[in-house]
Amino acid sequence: MTLQNHPGYLGLTSQGVIAIHTDWPIYPEEHGANLALLWLTVFKPNTVFKCISDIDRCCLFVAEVNKTNLAKPFDINNFHLAVWHEDILCLAEKGFITGVSAITERRWYEIEYSKLPKPAYYRGDDDQLIQINFLENLDEYDDEVDACPEFSETGITVTNKGWKYITEFLSQEPLNFSATLGERVTKLFDLEYYDTSVREACIGLEVRIKKYLGSQTYGYKLVEEYISQIRTKGSFIESFIKTFRGELRSVFNFIRNDFMHNFIDINRTQANSILIRVSRVTEVMNSLESLINS
C-alpha cells in the first residue's frame, strides 16, 4: 500500500502532517482550536465526547448522542470528531471545554502502555519470542512539558464559555449567505425571521442534494447516497471524504432535524453562527462538484 492509498493519508496539513497512521471513521479537517470548537458546537449543548483512540498526537472522539452504539464505538453510524492534541489543550486552557488536563509526554506513554495487553512479545532475530518491557524506555520521553491530553472518565463537554465564544466569534464573519445559501435565506435573516432563515437554508441544502443526485430520498439516506456518489465519481483522498461525511451528517442531524421539526427561538448572533456551518458544507459541495465536472 502506498502512502497516498493509506486511509489516514491527509495530503499535507498546514502544520506539515502528512498522515495519521490508522483507519478512523473521521479525521481532522485541519489544525486550529477555533475550527475544532466549530464542529464540537454543531452538536447540542452538554453533549459528551469520549476519546476512543489517540494516535499521532490526534484524538478520535465518539459523541454520546441518541442511538450511539457505545458497544461499537468505531461504528461508522456513530457520530465522531477528531481533534489534534494542541487544539484540545488550547480549548481546555481557555476554559472552553471540560474533562481534559495537560500531562507530560512521559505520563501519556505510561497511560497508553497501561492499556496494552500483557505480557506482550516481539519476535527477535533468532525467531525467539522476547517479552516487551514497556516501562524501560519511558525515560526517553519528555517529563517536563505538559503537552499531551489526559481525559476524565466522564468525557469532555463544551462549556457555556466555549459556546459563547464560538457564537460571538462567528458573528464577526461577513454576512454573505446569498452566494451559498440563496437570497431567500438572506432576506429572511434581514427581516429577523432567524429560525425561518435557518430552516430555509436546511431545505435548500437538502433540495440541492436531491437535484444533484436526481433522488427522492431524504435525511441520512440522502447524505450517504451523496457521499457514495462523490466517492465514486471523484479522485479525492479517502480521509477528506470521511471528514466531509461526518460534517454533513452532523449538520443534517443537529441542525436540519431540529429546525425542520420545531419552532426554535434564536437571536441574530445564534442564527448567524448556525448559518455559517450550513454555508461551509455547501461551499465544500460546490468545490467537489466543480472538480468532478471540470
In three-state secondary structure terms, 214 is coil
Quick one: pLDDT band at residue 1, thresholds 50, 70, 90? low
The angle formed by the CA atoms of residues 38, 44 and 47, to the nearest 5 degrees, is 95
pLDDT tens-digit profile of 164-218? 999 999 988 766 788 889 999 999 999 999 999 999 999 999 999 999 999 999 9
How far is residue 108's CA from residue 86's CA, in Å, rounded to a whole number? 14
* Residue 25 phi, psi (nearest 5): -75, -10
Query: Distance of CA 239 to CAs 51, 175, 245, 274, Å?
Result: 19, 30, 10, 25
Quick one: pLDDT band at residue 125, thresholds 50, 70, 90? confident
What torsion do the CA atoms of 29, 20, 165, 198 make, to the nearest 10 degrees? 30
HSE-CB for 101 with a 13 A CA cutoff: 6
Report the run of H or E that residue 239 belongs to, with start and end: helix 238-251
| pTM across the whole model | 0.91
| Percent of the chain at pLDDT exceeding 90 | 76
| Percent of the chain at pLDDT exceeding 70 | 97
pLDDT tens-digit profile of 94-120? 999 999 999 999 999 888 888 877 777
Quick one: pLDDT band at residue 3, thresholds 50, 70, 90? low
Q: Sign (positive/negative) of CA torsion 22, 24, 30, 35?
A: negative
Quick one: pLDDT band at residue 142, thresholds 50, 70, 90? confident
pLDDT tens-digit profile of 49-58? 999 999 999 9
